[in-house]
Chain A
Amino acid sequence: MKEAGDRRPVTEARDPAFTPAPGAPAIAAAATTNEDGQWTMPAKDFASSRYSGLTEITTDNVRNLKLAFTFSTSVLRGHEGAPLVVGSTMYVVTPFPNILYALDLENAGALKWKYEPKPEAAAQGVACCDVVNRGAAYGDGKIVFNTLDDHTIAVDTTGKLVWDTKLGDINLGETMTMAPLIAKGKVFVGNSGGEMGVRGWLTALDLGNGKIAWRAFSTGPDKEVLIGARFNPHYASDRGKDLGVTTWPGDAWKIGGGTVWGWISYDPALDLLYYGTGNPGPWNPHQRPGDNKWTSGIFARDPDDGEAVWFYQWNPHDVHDYDGINEQILLDVASNGGTRNVLVRPERNGYVYVLDRRTGEILSATPYGYITSSKGVDLESGRLVIADDKVPQIAKVVENICPAAPGMKDWQPSAYSPRTGFVYLPHQNLCMDWEALEANYIAGTPYVGANVKMYAGPGGNRGVMSAWDVANRREAWAIPERFPVWSGTLVTAGDVVFYGTMEGWFKAVHARTGQVLWQFKTGSGIIGQPITYRGPDGKQYVAILSGVGGWSGAVVAGNLDTRDSTIALGFANAMKDLPRHTTKGGMLYVFSL
């Protein structure tokens, strides 16, 4: 397998006034809660820390972790979800057909009930990248989740439907795969399908009755983006009237992408929601000159009325398919004798950004892997500096674009420990080549596309599990993995980090050193999100969904032919050997001492 070439240095950008004090920054106090042993939202708390205060499992005893129970989901596609634990019940939502299971934790995970929304089968045909679901959320006696065919559904704790709201239409290429966030009596959800000409949005629903409270589009006129008097972005290029229209040619914004399929955080103290937008599509970059607002960026909004407060664009006029939808971790960092309220964002373009979450100002942007596609971030303008020779062009061979289209890190969420000050970063080490034109065929119509091939970056490993030191803005330790680390991570007060590999190993590592302390081979590759909870018996448990798939694992979950290197949008080339290492499956594994 081909490897990427010489490393070229990409330097950090940092505001000189931002000088984090030594030690571990705190999780934003208002956005987290005291440990209650439950896990009621995929990110654990509004700050998206994925940090558990449970301490029974430690670096000393984790080697004794044993299987407590398992549960088969009966679904064989990619399991990207996080189980929830509310009281003595666990809730698991599967990939399409999006079955919600309730498991009795008093009784070794015995099935209490299941709710089957029966989404339209045609939704599979239009979903971009496997038919995943990233989890449910719990609030006020309801479990809320999205279906691939664009319904947001609330079910009560007995399995009875409370409400079901249809938010989009699969017949137009629109799907939903993200996990909702519940805050202030509202449910916040977004759509997927930017490649299909879908116009992205975030929608707020009333948690009580499912009625739509507001919808904020990611492209179009200010009144549809919910940009008004309160909007005060930090950088000049984000100021101006109707930029969601004027930074596009003609009416290209109407099918401009910017879908909202990733993570949402919430700061109750500032009363702001934070979430990212997907890349612009389906136009090729040379068809859409301009910044293509408000794609591939991050919004801060008022949760009550959706009004935008600030915006920052990671990738103005994205040319690399770098969706801007990753998680943002809300921290309070001691700096210069004061405290900065920040959000930490490991972005798909290869930088860990630290933004002032009050204003959207960049405090630092530091590379966390091998980057050739850009040369750094200009602090004056806030703009990413693109490497012109790595801009993909039709009919030209452009080699060694790093990171590849899935980015340095895709949707898979990281975790943060306030004990170590490290962000635990599951990510990729992939580069790509754009090659000659090739003829293809869809809906009866011949067309011409690029031949994209992805392959391992420097070192030859396609994945990395690393610890990122927030205060010192550098890698503390890293574990190379054969395949992209496509699972989420979890870190505990026992200083144990959990993650899974696409071969199916579920690993516990030392949060301070990265030493592997324990591992267990599950039945299929892992792309799910680990969680931990205190069971009804008072013991600490750790749970993970095994079941390979997603964009990276489509070669297994979708039975793709690995002889064709361009399928799965070029990702298959980098995953040719995955079928030798894992097979399909959908199984919950729960462990305890």
Chain B
Amino acid sequence: MSSRSEGRAPTLTRRAERAVLLLPLLALAAAGPGRRSDDRVAPGPVLRVCADPNNLPFSNARGEGFENKLATIVAGELGARVEYTWFAQRRGFIRNTLRAHACDVVMGVPASFELALPTRPYYRSTYAFLYREGSPFAVRSLDDPRLRRARIGVQMIGDDYANTPPAHALANRGIVANVRGFLVYGDYRDHDPQSPIVEAVARGDIDVAIAWGPTAGYYARRAPARVAVVPVSPQIDLPYLPFVFDISMGVRREDTALRDRLDEILERRRSSVDSLLAAYGVPRADRPST
């Protein structure tokens, strides 16, 4: 599921591509690296998007993620069709996709991300506690003493010293023996690689999970038992460990014109975007949650 950037693009091609971009802001279906969802060279403008082919609720190759739907909304505003380059969103994703000119936009990056030029954030979400409704472990705070005896699941990243904020926060509190790790990548053969941490709560394998909001909200709705999704408190754990993050779309650092155009669209279609996120159960931290 990868596209290769090797042997790519003499400078002239890239310049030409950029020039095309800067005028109508959209590349024509120029030849480029990567596996496309549609290999026919159809005429007309395209929005070139790089996305993970198997990372619900964000995106997948069947177009089932909210980032797929968002791409469709944006492309519609541009009078374009979406053309995907699929690449697992692992280490090197931005380098191998956006920066390799395999596409012009990725649908989700943190607003503070340095590897890309972010749009204004279109949502702010939060890490969330998940527990079965009626459970004695209805925790809302990282300082809840029940966390010392609950069986807790956290998402794991894999690089040395890199972790999700709840994993750091629990370790800082000395809560380790009762913590179970779920690699955020999951089993890439599955249709829902990120679902096991939520399913483990629903099944009762663990009492509490702490997961990133969009993943928590989406899989809680599909869980075989009623699972509560509660934003983690505090929003920032001292000394500086954030649990809420602003999420933007990302373009190449130099593509300010495209970024401006996307900002306009996000502003104009704000209610559609909000409805989309609500439909996927994304917990929002940028407005009072219900």
Q: Which residues of A contact B (CB under 8 A)?
A: 76, 121-122, 124-126, 169-173, 195-197, 249-252, 255, 281-284, 286-289, 321, 392, 394-395, 405, 434, 437, 439-450, 452, 558-561, 564, 567, 569
Contact = CB atoms under 8 A, between A and B. Distances in A.
A171 B181 CA distance: 17
B160 A405 contact: yes
Contacts of A122: 1-2, 88, 188
Interface in B170-206: 170-172, 176-181, 183-185, 187-189, 194
A286 B110 contact: no
Contacts of A196: 158, 183, 185
A252 to B, nearest CB: 7
A499 B88 CA distance: 37
B87 interface: yes
A195 to B, nearest CB: 5
Given A126-B90, A441-B110, A442-B91, A447 B164 contact: yes
B235 interface: no
B148 to A, nearest CB: 13
Contact of B159 (A121, A170, A289, A449): A449
Contact of B113 (A172, A405, A441): A441
Contacts of A126: 88, 90, 185, 188
A448 B171 contact: no
Contact of B1 (A121, A252, A392, A561): A121
User: Which one of A76, A197, A560, A569 has the greatest number of beta carbons of chain B within 10 Å?
Assistant: A197
User: Which one of A169, A443, A561 has the greatest number of beta carbons of chain B within 10 Å?
Assistant: A443
A286 B176 contact: yes
Contacts of A170: 188
A236 to B, nearest CB: 24
A125 B181 contact: no
- Main secondary structure, interface of B, reads loop
Nearest to B188: A171
Interface in B157-173: 157-165, 167-168, 170-172
B181 A283 contact: yes
Interface stretch (B137-145, B238-246, B271-279): B238-246
A141 B284 CA distance: 63
Interface of B: 1-2, 5-6, 52, 55, 57-59, 67, 87-93, 95, 99-100, 108-110, 112-115, 155-165, 167-168, 170-172, 176-181, 183-185, 187-189, 194, 212, 214-215, 239-242, 245, 247
13 contacts: A121-B2, A124-B2, A125-B90, A172-B187, A250-B178, A286-B176, A394-B161, A443-B55, A443-B184, A444-B89, A445-B157, A447-B163, A569-B159
A394 B240 CA distance: 10
Contacts of B155: 445, 447
Given A287-B176, A394-B172, A443-B89, 20 more contacts: A121-B1, A122-B2, A125-B90, A170-B188, A195-B160, A196-B185, A251-B180, A281-B158, A284-B161, A286-B171, A439-B112, A442-B89, A444-B89, A444-B214, A445-B155, A446-B247, A447-B164, A449-B162, A450-B162, A567-B95
A445 B91 CA distance: 12
Contact of B158 (A282, A394, A559): A282
A376 to B, nearest CB: 24
A447 B161 CA distance: 11
Nearest to B167: A287
A520 to B, nearest CB: 26
A560 B89 CA distance: 16
B99 A448 contact: no
A125 B2 contact: yes
Contact of B183 (A252, A282, A437): A282
Contacts of B99: 561
Given A286-B171, A321-B160, A443 B181 contact: no
Contacts of A567: 95
A445 B158 contact: no
B165 A447 contact: yes
A560 to B, nearest CB: 7
B68 to A, nearest CB: 12
Contacts of B189: 169, 171
A445 B52 contact: no
B157 A559 contact: no
B110 A443 contact: no
Contacts of A321: 160
B184 A442 contact: yes
B26 to A, nearest CB: 25
A551 to B, nearest CB: 12
A288 B162 CA distance: 14
A173 B6 CA distance: 23
Nearest to A445: B212
B164 A173 contact: no
Given A287-B171, A395-B239, A441-B110, A125 B1 contact: yes
Contacts of B245: 439, 446
Nearest to B100: A559
Contacts of B2: 121-122, 124-125
Contact of A447 (B1, B108, B160, B162): B162
User: Which one of A195, A283, A450 has the greatest number of beta carbons of chain B within 10 Å?
Assistant: A283
Nearest to A320: B160
Given A252-B181, A439-B112, A448-B168, A392 B163 contact: no
Contacts of B161: 284, 392, 394, 434, 449-450, 452
A282 B183 CA distance: 9
A223 B184 CA distance: 29
B179 A281 contact: no
A173 B158 contact: yes
Given A284-B161, A395-B240, A445 B183 contact: no
A202 to B, nearest CB: 22
Contacts of A169: 189
Given A445-B215, A448-B163, A197 B95 contact: no
B62 to A, nearest CB: 16
B150 to A, nearest CB: 12
User: Which one of B2, B93, B194 has the greatest number of beta carbons of chain A within 10 Å?
Assistant: B2
B55 A561 contact: no
A126 B188 CA distance: 10
Contacts of B168: 284, 394, 448
User: Which one of A250, A252, A442 has the greatest number of beta carbons of chain B within 10 Å?
Assistant: A442
A227 B117 CA distance: 53
A328 B98 CA distance: 43
A282 B156 CA distance: 7
Given A125-B88, A126-B90, A282 B159 contact: yes
